Structure 1
Amino acid sequence: MVDVVVLGDSLPELASALELAEVGLSVRIYPHMREDDRADPRDADGVRDPDGSLRSFLAHVATPIGGAGAPENGSSPGFTELPPPPPLLQNAQGEWLPQPQPAVFGIPAVPLSSASLALLGGGAAFRAALDRIRPVLTIGKTHEFGELVRNRMGGGVLERLVEPLTREAYGVPAADVDVAIIAPGLNEALTRMGSLSGAALDYAERNVARETRVAPSAGWGELRTALLRRLGLYAVEFVESPAGIVTATETGWTVATGAAAASGSLHPEESGPQPTAGVQTPEQATTARAIVRGAAASGHAPQDPELSGLLGGPRRICGRVAVAQPAFPSTHPEGPGVRGVQVGDGSSWTVRFAPAGAGWQAIVSGPAAQGLATTEAARSAAEAWVKDAAIAAGATLIEGTAEVSMPFAPYVTIEQRDAAQGQLSAWADARPGQIPTGGALHGGDLAAAIADARARAIQLRRHLTGITD
């Protein structure tokens, strides 16, 4: 018997395994059914880390056991911070021009600056400037981001500056996003400053910190290698085959692999083992006191039925495709540039043009949608959508396939986020000895998933080692 079995090998599952192994608990890890179930980041763009939890994890992995010597991945402090570059946006004539700075998701702090005038035109810029003299009659009461921008600064700022960046980040129009989600504290800044542009000026530095992306110094692949190496130092066992039959017993869990896993079965039986063709013999199975369940990010069936009720959020089609260099102005030849487009069915997408190695890429983000299929056929169709969106944005495609993913969309309202977190907590509270993990359980937020996995693992290890009941 081992202390804990871990079903899945994405970063949140491995993070929980490390917390358990570091106190001497025996851990055995089973891989996900498919490689894309892991949904680990595949590029150097990094992920958002507003509360620093990912930085803490990366620094921990980079620190040698015992706290002395060179970092594990050969760099210090183990991560790189990537502040968001101010993007180029398009004016009514289709010209690429720099976003006014400072700004908060497109809200200009200086509505009558030369950059604002160039992008908005005189009329829309003057309308935005009226924000400075309009009384603040609904302080803290406007919860929808789009409504706040339109009421204070007009439709020009909303459509030209704010919508492309909001849709890119969240997959929905700004009217559907809570201010407290996209810019926590902006309403409070509006109260202090008396205008939205003043609030943007007051909030801008905080917004840059929130939107700064974090990546391992040596890359995501090397992070995974360093993490696996560190787990190996604690004698963590790695099983080559995915888990098959998962069975609850009086003392914990039994996990079988072999033919059961090859058939794609992941079926927990709460009432004890059931005869099933291809199940391993007892000596081939693993028994454990506790279990970590990783939510497959790809959405491929079969998924762990125990977690399926927690995976009801919308997904997005996202992708990257190689393109020819866009016609950016000579003053900003490297961009990046962001624009919104509509594709054949009328849905709204965003396309970001950015350098990629020696060439260029179009980073395409689709709308958030419920019930988005994740079958192989759906992925082939998604590749076509990604290419269509890039072409609609004016890209010249370079031959090659598009890299496509279908991540869970971020939370856009406080109610949605709190409901999901409450459901997750209720699930875990009702199932002591089990840890649910994965970015899919946190609106696709990898940093939040790792932080939650580590926190729950610490609680579990205290229980298993007898520190608490």
Structure 2
Amino acid sequence: MIDVYVTGGGVAALAAALDLVEVGLSVRVAVTDAGEELPRGAVRDPEGTIAALLERLASPIGGDRESAERAGRPDAAPRAVPPEAVALPGARGGWQLQPLPAVLGAPAVPLSSECLAILGGGGAFRAYLDRLKPLLTIGKTREFGALVRSRFGRTALDRLVEPLIRERFGVAPEHVDVAVAAPGLNEALSRSGSLSAAVLAYSERHVARETRVIPAGGWGAARDALLERLALYGAQLADARPTAVRLGDDEHRVEEADGGRFETRAVVLDRGRRVDASGPAVSCEGEASEPRLPAAARVRARASVGVEAPVAIPGAARVRTVELPSGERWSVRVSRRGEADWEAELRGPAAPAEAVARQPDPEELAAALTGAGLSPRAGTEWRTRRYAAPHARIEQRDEARAAVDDLDGRFRGSALPVGSSLHGDDLSAALETARAQAVGLRRRLTGIAD
């Protein structure tokens, strides 16, 4: 019997495996087909959880720099990617750089030249009235859209905030909690007396929260570093794909595609990043009801395609909202991929998982791009996939955590569901939860705790 079986090779699952194997537990990890589970680029890391893991992989074990076996992986070291201004549709057409400082589009200086170029004179002056308007509700506005509309007006909400909020969350700003989008902004508003002053006071914290992280050598290098570290500690790295997991009261059983069968004291169920990724069938032994595995309650589709080079704005991606012939509102980001290639990434609306069962229609997406003045590049193909939608409400985040805790508690901490799809496609939150669960599990398996 082994101590722990890990059913996949996503970042959160491998990090949990490392926390378990480094204390001497026997761990078997199924690492096949994990490439699609890796992030595509730099990701948000507001609490520094991802950067801490990457620093750990980049550093030698125990500080021993003499032994090649204990050496770190410099290509896994975290590289910070600060947020940059994007270009938004201007008041007179074309593209204009968004005003900074800002919090998800809400500006600190409503009468700046950038605000005037996007909002026009009337819209910018309406936003400036925020400085003169008394604060009637101190830190009580829940929805980000309602807060911006009441302080800056509808034009600022539609042109500055809506494109960025819809890109991030897949819903209109009126359906996003301030406490989720910008924790602490309402408190800054109470102290400052106006939203523009609050944005200015909050801007450094916002930049820190929005700074993304990526391994120096890419996510493939970080995954390789995790696998090397696991092998160094003696983990079994399996090429066979697990097909079935049977959870029992005292022990669990795992079957692999090549016929291998394993008894294990605990299992880490990697739910991965993509909501349509297949995993092993999970059932129970000796119980009337099968376990209800946590899954993404809300999903959004994404699609990307190469496009002809738009009018250049040095160093700036372009972000806007488009409407498909079906009436759905999608976010579009056009950014440079290499020296000469440009790519459009479209993100669909967040919706219940059953409502996003189909992949988007490329013809509808192409029509939306054409309507926005963009042309798919000849010879390039659409790339479509589905991911969990980010949590826009506190309740959504709490419900997702409760679903993870429910399975964890049902099997007394010996069945740990992990993966970004359980946390609104948030690798930082998934990693934090997976490592906390793994620490609790290793304490029980080593006899430190009951």
- TM-score, L = length of structure 2: 0.91
Q: Deviations over 1:301-330 (max 9, x none)?
A: 5664567542141111112211121113xx
Q: In structure 2, what residue type is equivalent to 1:345?
A: S
- Are 1:318 and 2:298 an aligned pair? no
- Partner residue in 1 for 2:319: 338
> What does 1:120-159 align with in structure 2 at a 5 Å threshold?
120-159=119-158
Write out aligned runs for 1:6-405 (5 A): 6-31=6-31, 35=34, 39-42=37-40, 45-69=41-65, 72-75=72-75, 78-249=77-248, 251-258=250-257, 280=259, 284-296=260-272, 297-300=274-277, 304-305=281-282, 308-328=292-312, 332-358=313-339, 359-372=341-354, 378-379=358-359, 381-398=360-377, 399-405=379-385
Matched, 1:420 2:436: no
Paired residues of 1:318 and 1:365 also in contact (CA < 8 A): yes
8 Å contact 1:316–1:372 — kept in the other structure?
A: no
Structure 1 pair 133–322 and aligned structure 2 pair: CA distance change class (3 A):
same
**Equivalent residue letter for 1:237:** Q
Shift of 1:75: 4.3
Question: Is residue 13–residue 294 contact of structure 1 (8 Å, CA) maintained in 2?
Answer: yes
User: 2: CA distance between counterparts of 1:75 and 1:222?
Assistant: 6
Residue type of the partner of 1:397? P
Structure 2 CA distance, aligned partners of 1:247 and 1:447? 29
Question: What per-residue deviation string (whole Å, max 9, x for no partner) do you get for residues 143-183 of structure 1?
Answer: 00000000011001000000000000000000000000000
Structure 2 segments unaligned to the other structure (5+ residues): 284-290
Any idea what SS the aligned residue of 1:407 has?
Answer: strand
Unaligned runs of 5+ in 1: 260-279
CA distance in 2, matches of 1:303, 1:25: 23
What are the Cα deviations for residues 48-93 of structure 1, in whole angstroms up to 9, with x where unaligned?
10011111111111122222339633348x1111111101111233
Q: Give 3-state SS (helix, strand or coil) of 2:388's partner.
A: coil
Distance 1:4 1:384, change over 3 A: farther
In the TM superposition, residue 422 of structure 1 has moved relative to its aligned partner by 2.3
1:437 to 2:418 alignment = yes
Larger deviation: 347-356 or 308-317? 308-317
Q: Is the 8 A contact 2:245 2:280 kept in 1?
A: no
Cα pair distance change 1:385/1:370, threshold 3 Å: farther
CA distance in 2, matches of 1:176, 1:374: 19
Alignment: residue pair count: 435
Query: Which residue in the other structure is 1:463 paired with?
Result: 444
Query: Matched residue of 1:218: which SS?
Result: coil
SS in 1 for 2:352: coil
Contact 1:7–1:29, Cα closer than 8 Å, also in 2: yes
Are the counterparts in 2 of residues 318 and 386 from structure 1 also a CA contact under 8 Å? no
Q: Deviations over 1:102-160 (max 9, x none)?
A: 11111111111111111111111111111001110011111000000000110010000
Q: Which amino acid aligns with 2:376?
A: L
Q: Look up the equivalent residue of 1:85 and give its one-letter code.
A: E
Structure 1 residues 245 and 423: CA distance shift in structure 2, 3 A: closer
**Structure 1 residue 383, shift from structure 2 partner:** 4.4
User: Which region of structure 1 is more displaced relative to structure 2, 424-433 or 411-420?
Assistant: 424-433
CA contact (8 A) 1:408 1:443 kept: yes
Q: Which amino acid aligns with 2:37?
A: A
- Match of 1:256, SS? strand
Q: Percent same amino acid among aligned pairs?
A: 43
